Amino acid sequence: MKKQKKRNKHFPQRTCVGCLQVLSKRELMRIIRTPEGIRYDPTGKADGRGAYLHAKRSCWERALKGSLAKTLRTEMTEEDRHHLLHIMDSLPKEENNGCK
């Protein structure tokens, strides 16, 4: 009889569009493009093209300069930018974050 190997659990990996660091999907925040605009997806399961960011202001600042819109393949409206800036403002201030 063959000995069963212990199977390693698979954790999906995603890349932060702000700093390009690859981490587990659960460690990042998901932003999606919907017909209503760009929104934060706290469940990580909503329909729509997605992009991932650390919960760190520096990553959000870099992503809002253009990489987020490019990843989502859309133009960011003022309403979208205002919505995302409001989320970014709610993030804790960081000291040395370890991101690139």
Give pLDDT tens digits for 10-29.
889 999 999 999 999 999 99
- For the chain, domain boundaries: 13-90
> What is the model's pLDDT at position 7?
76
Topology annotation, domain 13-90: Hypothetical Cytosolic Protein; Chain: A; (3.30.1230)
pLDDT at residue 98, as a whole number: 56
pTM for this one? 0.82
Pairing of the two strands 22-24 and 37-41: unpaired
For residue range 17-60, list pLDDT tens digits in order: 999 999 999 999 999 999 999 999 999 999 999 999 999 999 99
Phi, psi of 24 (to 5 degrees): -60, 140
Q: Tokens 């009889």 label which residue?
A: 1
Query: ∠ CA(80), CA(86), CA(88), 5° rounding?
Result: 100
